Amino acid sequence: MNSTTLVTIVNTLDSGKSEAPKQIKLFPLGLVKSLKGDFLVDAEAYNSIMNHFRAHKVDIPVDYEHQTLQNVQAPAAGWITELTLKSNGVYATVEWTDKAAQYIKEKEYRYLSPVVSVREKDRKALLLHSVALTNTPAIDGMTAIVNSAKGTPAPVKDKKDSEGTERAEFSEKTPPLSSDSETIELTEFIKNLYQMLQLPEDAPFSDIENRIRELLQATSELKLEVNSLHFEAHKQQVDEVVTVALKSGKIMPYQKDWAFRSAMSSLEDFSTWVKDAPQVVPMREIAFESLILKDAPTRSRAHELMGLSSEDVKQYGGKSL
């Protein structure tokens, strides 16, 4: 089973309204920057989060200051009852308690900090653990909480991993050897290993372990960057197909989020649907850009019959009657 880590991020709750928002943005799509390491939210990640949410059939808690992660009483500030995917991120519908709603209204709590479980091998989000109202989006405040519940399994000795390969912890002690030839072979191997890792030959074995961990971390970060670029390219294709559907009158403007989810699920199937679907919206009823004055007729037949001059039309908006 893949090991995971709990990760927190911070969003602002300030929506410009005086009331607690019923729908909140949890995190954007693509590469997400976090205090505990970056992670990726793509179509696979969203599906995993949704599948866990639906399978458990339990609302996700919104607490205060990540108390759910601590072994203390954790009163709810609200409950997430629904998750949805939009073109700019993953959103949650929240039922706030009266107390939390008042806190938010009075701006006594301003920030939102989701906690997600992240798969370590590719840094993809797997599930939404909880969400917290917080006023301390600082590294020291967040790090202590997350460190107390990393969700990382303890090291396992001499166990087989998912690929059937034997794993063993590093040891400062050299294993017993059965012959002088094996001793020479191991000595040569260690010497070459020090050279490859650019370590002095008198460095302890722990330095070898640390250097390998650094290299694995760098590889993981590079893989995450590549995966995020692939997802951004895919998302751009999805956005373009949805825009074509809108501009060709195949979907109504209010169907944009549904279209985005459908295209994210299967771009090929949605593209085929757009190609075969009938036009349902007259093109004159869709305005994708604001109409500017120079593009509007300065004087129509109706204006002429009403005795309005071109100057009158320009002065009062230039809109045809």
The enclosing H or E element of 270 equals helix 267-276
With a cut of 50, say whether residue 170 has pLDDT above it: no
Percent of the chain whose pLDDT exceeds 70: 68
Output the pLDDT for position 188.
76
- pLDDT average, residue stretch 177-197: 70
Amino acid 155: pLDDT: 35
Check: pTM over 0.85? Answer yes or no. Answer: no
pLDDT at 304 over 80: no
Query: What's the mean per-residue pLDDT of the chain?
Result: 75
Question: Where is pLDDT greater, at 19 or 46?
Answer: 46
Whether residue 145 has pLDDT greater than 70: no
C-alpha 284, offset from chain centre: 37
Task: For residue 316, name the pLDDT band (cuts at 50, 70, 90).
Answer: low
Domain boundaries, the chain: 4-147
User: DSSP characters for 143-206?
Assistant: HHHHHTT--PPPP-SSEE-TTS-EE----SSPPP-SSHHHHHHHHHHHHHHHHHTT--TT--HH
